[in-house]
Amino acid sequence: MYLCHIENKIMIKSQKVRFVIETLEKLYPNPPIPLDHKDAYTLLIAVLLSAQSTDKRVNTITPKLFKKANNPYDMVKLSVNEIREIIKPVGLSPMKSKGIYGLSKILIDKHDGKVPANFTDLEALPAVGHKTASVVMSQAFGIPSFPVDTHIHRLMYRWTLSTGKNVKQTEKDAKRLFPKKLWNKLHLQIIFYARAYSPARGWDIENDIIFKKIGRKSEAK
């Protein structure tokens, strides 16, 4: 571990970034999108549902919801309570059901039933924050974005690539350090790596390939 820390001091940030990119590309050359969806609208709903839940749980609920309504026009035919009953297992159902109904109505009234491909309009929708908007921009529209979730926030700090003070700063650091053309793929690669090698709980540092090379000294104690 001591030698690892000596190496950390020698490596400059650009070398660390290159090591991260190369390692993730070897491990996850074609990372899939974790949330099941068929278009921008169903992805938007799935991402909204994933807040404080897991992708696995969301993927068990969305087929039931989308069977009844997989577009905003059908969604507003359901009541908020009907939506809430379906999505209860993912948690925060009162807030999420109101958000789903409300954003669906706005999409119909202001956007011809289509999900807008810009941050301003997306973030103006009920229950849609910057991270959700970033996922939709990246995964639905292919527009370079770097959604930062708890996994990315944690790893950017562990890798000494960000101060880790807040997700806004982490996103800024990630966008500054990594090539824009890699953002959409890289944020997925980091998520998959975090779950497999660098989780918040049950973390085995010896199996964490990237951390052992560039990790934060205080985290290893």
Candidates 13, 38, 39, 131; catalytic one: 131
Closest-CA residue to 119 (of 105, 137, 101): 137
DSSP state of 215: -
Place of tokens 């529209």: 141
For residue 131, indicate whether it is catalytic: yes
**Per-residue CA distances from 210 to 65, 140, 159, 194, 205 (Å):** 39, 29, 8, 10, 10
Query: 3-class DSSP state for residue 8?
Result: helix
For residue 26, indicate whether it is catalytic: no
Q: Give yes or no for a contact between 95 and 120, defined as CB atoms under 8 angstroms apart.
A: no
Per DSSP, the residues of 78-129 read S-HHHHHHHHGGGS-HHHHHHHHHHHHHHHHHHHTT---SSHHHHHTSTT--
DSSP state of 205: G
Candidates 36, 56, 74, 149; catalytic one: 149
CB atoms within 10 A of CB 14: 9
DSSP state of 140: I
- Point out the residues that are catalytic: 131, 149
